[in-house]
Structures are given as structure tokens and as C-alpha cells.
Amino acid sequence: MSLFDKKMTELHQLLHKREVSVTDLVEESFKRIAEVDGKVQAFLTLNEEEARETARTLEVKLGSDESKGLLFGMPIGLKDNIVTKGLRTTSGSKILENFDPIYNATVVDRLTTAETITIGKLNMDEFAMGSSTENSGFQKTRNPWNLETVPGGSSGGSAAAVAAGEVLFSLGSDTGGSVRQPAAYCGVVGMKPTYGRISRFGLIAFASSLDQIGPITRSVEDNAYLLEAIAGVDPMDSTSAYVEVPSFIQSLTGDIKGLKIGVPKEYLGEGVQEEVKQSVLDALKKLESLGAVWEEVSLPHSKYALATYYLLSSSEASANLSRFDGVRYGYRTPNAQNLIDLYKKTRAEGFGDEVKRRIMLGTFALSSGYYDAYYKKAQKVRTLIKKDFEDVFENYDVIVGPTAPTPAFKIGEKTSDPLTMYANDILTIPVNLAGVPALSVPCGFSNGLPLGLQIVGKHFDENTIYRVAHAFEQNTDYHKQKPAL
């Protein structure tokens, strides 16, 4: 039994009773990483020296009367697009292979305040562009449940590390499903909060109007605690919202009597595997038995979300990634004749294929003569997609469906055709376009691979999502199962 099979509250008690030391927690991480990460390949960089030193400092504090929060001493892994001062941050890209950030992301500062211990940085699709972590510039992370399959993406390292018991929890980022889909594939809990709930300062930008950091945990309860610690307005991010952060944990009452669930018919239609549908219907039955009611609803513009997303996210990415030019940081080509040549060769040599493809698509969609036809058109369709959600939320508390249309697929299976890979995100993308929060919680297995139930809420109503997810989790045992690594 691993210490990380326990909930954070239990570990907190053990620390206080001095039955477990902070060093024990940190060593549990490094021991497990030594055992399994050769197979899983979730970590890009380990923070061993500093983590052990922090553990020693916290150990002293543990013996004092100073107050210690719940996250005190807990080992965490961070997706490698979250900048960490003095700890290499690559965003999964060769162009940032040796990048040593000079400041911390706001979430990292908040975790430092909460006194968690950063174990290391986790693999991801390059600049978060992908659904399988196969687009990493460095290594292919494996799904702990089946090493032949992908962990999902782009936060594949973050989900795999938690599933494999290498850390208690982690942070990922979600632009079109990149926290929820890997959480579903790896059988863990992943939350994409409302856009604006968490500061994006220090999150290496992919698509600024869609990106959001999110916690990945083994339990819903830990997820709620972790979100509470990192949420809230930040003067360094003008898109972080001036909205009060409630106590998410207080919403975990187990009571969902009278809750109204909308189930979009588009989310159980074509392309969604039979076993996935069945697991969602079973989950709905379970929620019904707990007093909720559900009805079929429609999000009529769902089928346009994928195209809208790729136009908008690639357009934003093409602008955001213009900063990687070989001048201020990152890789620089040794073969440049002049400045333009330096830009072009640096970027050609530093970026991987998927990143180049999206920069090209975005540049095209924003270019003179095409802007109205592609970019602006997609922005208008985004309005319609957002309105779909608003309409349903007039009459329902949450929207429920699968997180992904299938369980984890085989490594290499979808890399040849970009559109096939993109289709994998069809159920998560609309949520980012609308900016609403959504969570994936384990809801079954198909051929030994985990499945995820997606629960979508109203803007800034993560509370109701947590309440539903927690009630479901407490009445099922999918989350208790562990991969045999």
C-alpha cells in the first residue's frame, strides 16, 4: 500500500501524529519514480535536491506551533508549461530544452504558500498541442494501465504520474480537454475550472482565451482542496476574475436530491463507443438512485465546435508562439546569415511538426483576405456554442456525458492523420469555447482501461460539479482501483 492511496486529510493527520514525516512523503515519490518511471516516462525533470531540502525545512516547522495548512508537505508534480523559478521548464519543446525560468507562475507561488513540495516537471505534448503526449519533443509517456496505450494529452505526464502513484497530485492545463481527457484515460480526477478562476500568469500560453490550469488528483475531495489553494484573482493576470473563491470542500455533502441533469444527445451519438455510452448510462442510473433527475437535452452546435476550436486556438497560438525567435531565451540556430534567417531557422529547427502545422493554420486564418472567412466566422460560431450551454443551464444544474468517445488508444495509432487525432477532443472542446467548468471522474473500465464521466457546470459553479462528482465517487469504487504496474 502506498501512502498516496490515502486522502490528503488522512496524510495530514499522520503528519500531525508524527507517524509519517514530510521526508517520508517526498521519499515515497522518489522511490516510486525510481521503480516505475522508466516504464511510464511521466517526468521530464526531477527536483530532488530542492524537494529534499524543503522537506527538511518543513520537518522543523512540523515540530513547531506554527499553523500548517492541509497541503503542508504534500508532494506535487507540475505540467512542464508552468514556469518554476530555477527549475527547467520546457513546455515539451526542444526550443525550450534548457530554459531556466527567472520567476514562478502564480500557481507555483500559491503552492509555495500552501507549503506543498514540488517533485518535478511532467511531460506533455509540445506547447500543449495534442491529445496523446506523443507530440512531446522529448519522450512518449505511457498509460500506467496499459503501457502500449497513450496516457492522453496534452497533460499526459500529469495524469500518468498521479495514476502511477508517483505523486499525490499534479497540475495540468486544459485548452481543449487537456486535463479532463488524460484524467479519463488514466482513471483519475481532473478539473478544468471556469475560465478566469485560476491565474494564467506563468502558464506558457497556447491559446489565451481558452487555456486554464487544473488540478489532477486521485479523489474528488483532494481535487476540491487543491483548487481552493490555487484559485482566485491575480493582479498579474488581467483575465483572472474578481469572483470570490468559495469553500469547494463544503459542497461535498453527498446530497444530490432534486439535482437536474441535462444529457446532451450529441454527446452519446455517432463516434462514441458503445461501452463508453453504457458506462455513462450506468452512471446516470446511479445518480438517479441518489435522487437526481436527468433528461435528454441538446447542444445543437456541438458538431461545429471542433472546427471552431482549431481555427481559434491555432490563431491565438500563432501569435503567442511568435515570442520564440531565438533572441531572448531558448534555442538559437547556429546556421543563421542574418536576422530573418535566424528567426526562420531557429523556429524550423526548434518546433515539432504539430506545432508548425498549427502556427501555419493560425497564420493563414489571420492573414489578410482570410481573416473574416475563417477567424471571425469561428468567433461568431463560438458565440452560438456558448449560447447552447447558457440555454441548457437555464433549466439544468449540470450537464453530464462522457469525457472522451473511447478509452485510451494505442501509441502510434492516430499520429498519421491530424484530423483523426483532433476528433478525440470532440466532447471536451465545447466546454473551453464556452468557458464553463468541467470535471472528469472515473466511471468504469473497457478492456482494463479506465473511462471518465464528464460533469459540466455553470460559470463559476465548480461547487455543484464537485458535489455531483463526490456523490458519484462515494457510491462507486472505480476510483479505488489501481493499475498493476
Q: Which of 6, 29, 79, 313 does the annotation list as catalytic?
A: 79
The nearest distance, CB 427 to another protein, in angstroms, is 17
Nearer to another protein, 178 or 279 (CB): 178
Known catalytic residue at 79: yes
Closest by Cα among 174, 225, 155, 233 to 201: 233
**Distance between CA 123 and CA 134 in Å, rounded?**
10
Q: Which is nearer to another protein, 69 or 300 (CB)?
A: 300
Q: How many CB atoms lie within 10 A of CB 412?
A: 12
Of the candidates 93, 155, 158, 178, the residue annotated as catalytic is: 178
Q: Are 405 and 180 in contact (CB under 8 A)?
A: no
Element (H, E) at 379: helix 377-393
Give the interface with another protein as residue ranges (CB under 8 A).
Answer: 98-100, 102-103, 195-196, 209, 235, 238-239, 241-242, 301, 303-304, 306-308, 310-311, 318, 322, 325-332, 336-345, 347-348, 351, 356-357, 359-361, 363-364, 367, 374, 376-384, 386, 418-419, 434-435, 459
Helix (H, G, I), strand (E, B) or coil at 138: coil
- Closest approach, Cβ 471 to another protein, in A, equals 28
Instruction: Supply the DSSP string of 95-111, one letter for each residue.
Output: GGTT---SS--HHHHHH
Least spacing, CB of residue 351 vs another protein, in Å: 8
Q: How far is the CB of 84 from another protein (least distance, A)?
A: 14
How many C-beta atoms surround the C-beta of residue 12 within 10 A?
Answer: 20
Catalytic residue at 298?
no
In angstroms, what is the minimal distance from the CB of 208 to another protein? 9
| Residue placing its CB nearer to another protein in the complex, 290 or 342 | 342
Exactly one of 91, 136, 154, 314 is catalytic; which is it?
154
Q: What is the Cα 303 distance to its own chain's centre?
A: 23
Which residue's CB is nearer to another protein, number 72 or number 324?
324
In angstroms, what is the minimal distance from the CB of 196 to another protein? Answer: 5
Nearer to another protein among residue 383 and residue 481 (C-beta): 383
CB of 429 to another protein, least distance (A): 13
Strand order in the sheet with 117-122: 43-46, 117-122, 75-79, 169-173, 213-217, 189-192, 438-446, 449-456, 398-402, 260-264, 293-297
Q: Which helix (H) or strand (E) holds 421?
A: helix 418-423
CB of 139 or CB of 363, closer to another protein:
363
- Under DSSP, the state recorded for 12 is H
To the query of whether residue 377 is one of the catalytic residues in this protein, the response is: no
180 and 440 Cβ atoms separated by less than 8 Å: yes
State the cell numbers at 155: 497533460
Distance CA 384, CA 287 (A): 30
Burial class (CB in 10 A: 0-12, 13-18, 19+), 340: exposed
Give 289 or 338: the residue with its C-beta nearer to another protein: 338
Query: Which are the catalytic amino acids?
Result: 79, 154, 178
